[in-house]
Amino acid sequence: MDRIIVRQSGPLEGDVHINGAKNSVLKLMAASALAPGDYLLHNVPAITDVDVMAELLRAMGMTVASPGPGDLEIRNPGGLTPEAPYELVEQMRASIVVMGPLLAAYGEARVALPGGDDFGPRPIDMHLKAVELLGVTFESAHGYIHARADNLVGARVLLEFPSVGATENVMMAAVRAKGQTVIENAAREPEIADLAAFLNRMGAKILGAGTSTISIEGVDELTSVEHTVVPDRIEAATYLAAVGIAGGELTLVGARPDHMDMLCQKVGEMGVRTSTDPDGLWAMANHRLRAVDLATLPYPGVATDYKPFLVAMLSVADGVSIVTENIFSGRFRYVDELIRMGADIRTEGHHAVIRGRAALSGAPVRCHDIRAGAALVVAALAAEGETEIRDPDHIDRGYSDLVEQLQAVGADVTRVRD
């Protein structure tokens, strides 16, 4: 089994390069099921979740190839098999976003039901309720949902929570529906705006993506396109945490500071200085971090995906912080690993109370998911001795070069391959 070995490091100095956003590229790949033709995506991260989505597209009948670093060519020959098999949905829950495009293109989709995961149960009831309003009917048997719609019809869809996946699924179903669809209380994440930009380039008529009200005028025809994936704000958060924890000065080349306003504000309260830079985002930390309270919220609030990094930072900050999780239940599992590294954290329901320590203590720890795994790597920069991080394949789902990029800015991080 591979391991990542980290020794106390810092200050960090230099440039890191922000790759394309995982949470955008997966949806753009799914959207290529909407119309036959050749698609070309740029700024695609070399991560295993992209490999799983590529497998899913192949299982449906498409071809996927990487002609060069960061590029992905997708050929949709038409006549796809409208199905997302269990083996792939089980590996990656985001696979369920193929439902919207398949319904739009073929009037049906057979999608395996995702199970729960480390964040607790993650139902898809909002996805189903939303597309049902467009005229979709469902049958569920043998672990699959079979969705059908002879004619998709535009409708007003009021989401009870601004779910990212539900907003994307209904947006992709609605692009070919007859008439207008209006999504209210839509998720506002930058990755939703990126998906809408991709769809509009294909010929869709979407207004308001990135705000709470998205209107979609159905069209009869869509065509394949070329598109550059928006940068990954969560990967950028990883390096902001690294510089906050280890000290130093980094430029996050390619980052979009305008997508990270609230994060910059929060890390600013902790003592990390940030500034928009012609290349992306500049960040510097030269004192011990300060404790702050924070609560996760849908965008533009503090993203739940940032939380493991913020908790890692607060573990070594001066003072006591309270962190509240409002998006997912049970998303504190990595806290036990930080405690193994000497962090003083008490969780109670969806709250965590963190008493900052001057330093952590290197220990063997285990990754449970993508961001939590990466957070252990950056926390270990402030741990005396050596930290051994096991199961780093979770990190590979969302990072192509975390170890190499940290090494390049002076961190003592290596991957041991067995």
| Chain residues in the site for ligand UD1 (CB under 6 A) | 23, 26, 94, 122-127, 161, 163-166, 187, 303-305, 327-328
Taking the complex as a whole, the smallest distance from the CB of residue 362 to ligand UD1 amounts, in Å, to 29
Report in angstroms how near the CB of residue 52 gets to ligand UD1 at its nearest: 11
Q: How far is the CB of 12 from ligand UD1 (least distance, A)?
A: 26
Q: Toward ligand UD1, which CB reaches closer, 74 or 164?
A: 164
69 Rama class: left (phi>0) / alpha (psi -120 to 50) / beta: beta
- With beta carbons less than 8 A apart as the criterion, state whether 177 and 132 touch: no
Catalytic annotation, residues: 117
Distance in angstroms (rounded) separating the CA atoms of residues 405 and 14: 10
- Smallest distance from ligand UD1 to CB 129, Å: 8
CB of 108 to ligand UD1, least distance (A): 20
In the block, residue with structure tokens 């539900």: 166
The structure tokens 């200085």 sit at 273
Helix axes 22-31, 48-60, angle to 10 degrees: 10
Angle between helices 190-202 and 22-31 (to 10 degrees): 30
The structure tokens listed for 252 are: 């996050």
SS3 at position 46: coil
- Alpha carbon distance 205, 193 (integer Å): 13
Query: How many whole angstroms separate alpha carbon 99 and alpha carbon 96?
Result: 6
Pull the structure tokens for residue 278.
């012609």
Q: Give DSSP secondary structure letters for 83-100.
A: EE-HHHHHH-GGGGGGHH
Strands 63-65 and 72-76 turn out to be antiparallel
Least CB distance to ligand UD1 at residue 286 (A):
31
| Closer to ligand UD1 by Cβ: residue 209 or 409 | 209
Q: Which is nearer to ligand UD1, 122 or 201 (CB)?
A: 122
C-beta of 212 vs 304, nearer to ligand UD1: 304
Q: What is the Cα–Cα distance from 335 to 325, expressed in whole angstroms?
A: 13
Helical spans, DSSP H, in 15-85: 22-31, 48-60
Between 155 and 253, CB nearer to ligand UD1: 155
